[in-house]
Structure 1
Amino acid sequence: MNHTELVHNIAIVLASEVKSYDLPDICSSYGLDKGEDSEAFEGKARYIERRLRGKNHLFLIDLATRVAKDYNSIDLNRMLNTISPRGIFKVSQITRKNIIKEVLSSGYIEGDLNLIDFLKRTWDLDSMPSTDSRFPNATGDIAQHMIANDDWSYQELFEDILEIYNITDEQFIRFTEQIVHPSFRGEVDPQFIEKLNYYLAKDGFKMQVTSQISGYPLYAIIKTSTGVKGEFKNLIFAADGPKPEIVISDSINNEIAIVKNQEFCLVYDLPILDGLLWSELVTWWGDKESEEIGIDVERAIYKRLIRSLDEGPERNFFKFYFKHFRKQMGNKLPALIPQVYLHYDPYVTKLVLNETRLVRQRMDFLLLLPNKVRIVIEVDGKQHYSSEDNRPSPKKYAEMMKADRDLRLQGYEVFRFGGFEFINENNVEKMVFDFFSKLFVRYEIF
């Protein structure tokens, strides 16, 4: 999806949904220039496209996501799903396909309701267009082909007509909850609930009883994995030279800028919607360096990341991760991101006060997994618990433990390896393999 297509698709949706006299205020609410009201009456799509010119790709993707949600746009959702390998939904397309397959094979669909009434609990069929010119909307369309003639299958209905893989998370969750609603379903087989939960769990959701109606359980889908709260904003990592100096460039929008030593670090500048895969990092590097994606690009980013790590335990940890899991997991491999800046003490703090206020400024490694799960991995050297003269420092150790607690309270998972574990190099490779094998099972990364 190129820049021009993004602009065009956003403009088409807004132009079709918003009246000319409302358009300036709507554009302003999305952070776009309002301009003269008369412009909107000269052509809504052109009015919007003029305001999108010069906006960067990240801004446009964010705007498209907001517009798609605000106007329930299947077209924008479909487009956004082509941009990211995981798509834009919290309930992934893979999970949706598995649930639909389970629903269709089990016969759990409309229950005691007629099909039209059941579908209207999730979709506004009367406002949806028909694929048949004989009918004004999808209601007549579905009645003709699913009830009168029975020449559409349920799979065609959900996939091709209702586009269930491109509807919002909220709409898909509502549909799934309706499948087991006691008002027209009665008793639901617990094994069916277990099967749905098997798939929902992979995206951090669960269907559970929240109340009762006339003695029957009422099920709702809830989030089970919260991860780290807040939106992802900055990924500064892999410094192979002097520490970058960072300032707040826009305190209102919490935007930062690197004013010195930027050439020694990497800054990932694409949206991270639901974790970061190694394949996504390689694609980003290839685009950044204007190279075609392939083994040479992958080697280039791998070598660049290795340069940011100290010889010995850190490099071995990184190398063995890729040795054992790159080929095995392919494009599903999470990116193991080295030397990630978490906090930042301004240069002036150290210069004037001669102290560091924030203990952990940089993580050894970070994994960004689905459902906002963030895994911090620390490979401890003597600098983690010793003073500058190499004497054990209880104060420094206590500060490190406090920093770990603070991270966990924010929702991060912290795993720490002691330097002693790396003394016997023959055991290091197996240790790394065993650790990540168990980690991926725990977080269902397959």
Structure 2
Amino acid sequence: MAEQTDFRRLRSLVDGVLVTLYQRYRHQDLPELCERLGLPSPPADDGTTKHERLTASLQDCPDEQLLHVAQAVLDTEMLLFIETRDLQDAVWAGRDYVEIPGRTRRELAKEFDLTDHLGHPDRFLALLGQLWDLGEDEFNVWGPHRGTLRDDIQRHVIRFSDDWTTEYLFEQLRAFEAPHPRFGHFLEGLASPTVLPDEQAQRRFVEFANHHLQPVGAQLRQEGEVDGYPQFLLLPLGRGTAHRPRNLIFATLGKPDIRFTSALDNDIEIAERANQVLVYDRPVGKDGLLWCDLLSWWQETRDADNAEEAALALYGRMEASLPSQAEGQKNLFWLYHRIYKSQLRDVPALLPEIWVHWDPKSIRERGERAQQNLRMDFLMLLPGNRRVVLEVDGMQHYTRNRGSKPDSAKYAATMAGDRDLKFRGYEVFRFGHDELRDRDRAQLVVADFFRALLGRFPDCSS
């Protein structure tokens, strides 16, 4: 999200900087200074003061140019921390940012092990100094600072790392009540190669942070590289839906006969052919539906005490629902469980052959009023109420007569169904069957996709 820029406040902050900035320059330097900052040319030197000339230039600056001026001041001028902080907050508030609630910040801090970051103490301290008030005079040239927060951090966090908890450090930084953009920049800094010049350490922090961020709809995601290291940005996961699902009907072997036992409460039962589907009817928590949740439900509903045997049985039952000729679907399902094998309990369940709409009549019987995409290849329920649909497109999605004739109407109906799902808050990702037909070649495609989707790195051995 982004707020509407408060141009009156922003103009006041820039003016406050100009009050001291003019003292560093001569009259003849002001035109070049204004050009560098993106300000209009100042009035001629006709006996007015330098401050008056700069103030006149600022008054002539239109609002739409003011953000660029403020950013140029931040980029090129040496300011007191309080001036930098206030300008940054005003500029950042007008840009897209991700909200991280105070509770999430505190829970993250409680579990945050600083060991990797303290391996690079100068870099870590530099990051803190860029974003938080460490209580020092930036223009004091008379040696080391004493009695400041920087001095306390050097002593109680860096030299004697057991003195302060990370939560207490965050409190001293005032990170829990900081504006959302500032806290977001802090997280990005903690994941950056500037602070952590060690890719494995970067990825450890990102995976840890995303465990706390994903339930509130945020994620640190790799968006490029810097000097060969991954660069992570804080981004929203997706808009999600307003509510959590009540019933999940999946692993379908045939179309079940469903009836409502209570239309008011949306309670259903499978009247006939109940063995042809699985129905998960438990509440889905803030972390989404994890494999461990699905396995627990399977064990309890089938009195299966042995977790390993139950896991194999559940996997086998879901695998059996995949169409026999759909090699792409089979490979996607198999590869997902392979690349996350050692961390399977903590990753989202991949539900195959899932009903996302229900109509007791067939599409042919319903005719032009039929809903499309009643059943999808896969569904994942992620933190933040995100519903992610995965489809593997074979020829049946755009041909008729067993693939012998193109069918543009069929393809159009599929796309219309996609749009409907997206308007309802689903995220839809489609794979081409040829991408997944060969299991060995598909492994990299699948691993890269789920790494980006989940912010979780596959097992090293896969």
State which of 416, 438, 441 in structure 1 corresponds to 2:449.
438
Contact 1:229/1:410 (CA < 8 Å) preserved in 2?
no
Equivalent position of 2:430 in the other structure: 416
- For 2:133 and 2:263, locate their aligned partners in 1 and report how far apart those are by CA, in whole Å: 52
**1:189-200 alignment runs, 5 A limit:** 192=186, 194=188, 199=209
Structure 1 residue 297, shift from structure 2 partner? 1.1
Structure 1 residue 403, shift from structure 2 partner? 1.1
Contact 1:345/1:356 (CA < 8 Å) preserved in 2?
no
The structure with more radius of gyration: 2
Matched, 1:286 2:334: no
* Identical positions, percent: 30
- For 1:436 and 1:233, locate their aligned partners in 2 and report how far apart those are by CA, in whole Å: 30
**1:228-377 alignment runs, 5 A limit:** 228-240=241-253, 242-273=254-285, 274-311=287-324, 312-327=327-342, 329-347=343-361, 353=366, 357-377=370-390
Instruction: Give aligned pairs, total.
Output: 280
CA change 1:93–1:298 in 2 (3 A) is farther
Contact 1:385/1:396 (CA < 8 Å) preserved in 2?
yes
- For 2:284 and 2:246, locate their aligned partners in 1 and report how far apart those are by CA, in whole Å: 8
Equivalent position of 2:395 in the other structure: 382
**1:7-406 alignment runs, 5 A limit:** 91=104, 95-98=108-111, 155=165, 177-178=176-177, 180=178, 192=186, 194=188, 199=209, 202-203=213-214, 204-205=217-218, 225-240=238-253, 242-273=254-285, 274-311=287-324, 312-327=327-342, 329-347=343-361, 353=366, 357-388=370-401, 390=403, 391-406=405-420
CA change 1:350–1:404 in 2 (3 A) is closer
- For 1:317 and 1:259, locate their aligned partners in 2 and report how far apart those are by CA, in whole Å: 32
CA change 1:154–1:313 in 2 (3 A) is closer
Question: Which is further off, 303-312 or 317-326?
Answer: 317-326
CA change 1:364–1:192 in 2 (3 A) is closer
State TM-score, norm by structure 1: 0.52
Counterpart residue type for residue 376 of structure 2: M
Contact 1:245/1:258 (CA < 8 Å) preserved in 2?
yes
- For 2:320 and 2:335, locate their aligned partners in 1 and report how far apart those are by CA, in whole Å: 16
Secondary structure of the corresponding residue to residue 408 of structure 1:
helix
- For 1:244 and 1:336, locate their aligned partners in 2 and report how far apart those are by CA, in whole Å: 21
Secondary structure of the corresponding residue to residue 329 of structure 2:
helix
- For 1:421 and 1:429, locate their aligned partners in 2 and report how far apart those are by CA, in whole Å: 11
- For 1:224 and 1:355, locate their aligned partners in 2 and report how far apart those are by CA, in whole Å: 35
**RMSD of the TM alignment (CA)?**
4.3
Structure 1 gap segments, 5+ residues each: 1-88, 113-152, 159-171, 182-187, 207-220
CA change 1:90–1:317 in 2 (3 A) is farther
CA change 1:298–1:397 in 2 (3 A) is same
- For 1:429 and 1:401, locate their aligned partners in 2 and report how far apart those are by CA, in whole Å: 30
Contact 2:256/2:270 (CA < 8 Å) preserved in 1?
yes
Counterpart residue type for residue 437 of structure 1: D
Counterpart residue type for residue 395 of structure 1: A
- For 1:253 and 1:228, locate their aligned partners in 2 and report how far apart those are by CA, in whole Å: 19
- For 1:297 and 1:354, locate their aligned partners in 2 and report how far apart those are by CA, in whole Å: 42
Secondary structure of the corresponding residue to residue 104 of structure 2:
coil
- For 1:222 and 1:177, locate their aligned partners in 2 and report how far apart those are by CA, in whole Å: 19
Equivalent position of 1:41 in the other structure: none
- For 2:183 and 2:336, locate their aligned partners in 1 and report how far apart those are by CA, in whole Å: 43
Contact 1:326/1:333 (CA < 8 Å) preserved in 2?
no
CA change 1:394–1:290 in 2 (3 A) is same
Structure 1 residue 399, shift from structure 2 partner? 0.3
Secondary structure of the corresponding residue to residue 91 of structure 1:
helix
State TM-score, norm by structure 2: 0.50
- For 1:244 and 1:411, locate their aligned partners in 2 and report how far apart those are by CA, in whole Å: 26
Counterpart residue type for residue 411 of structure 2: Y
Counterpart residue type for residue 226 of structure 1: R
CA change 1:373–1:440 in 2 (3 A) is farther
CA change 1:232–1:263 in 2 (3 A) is same
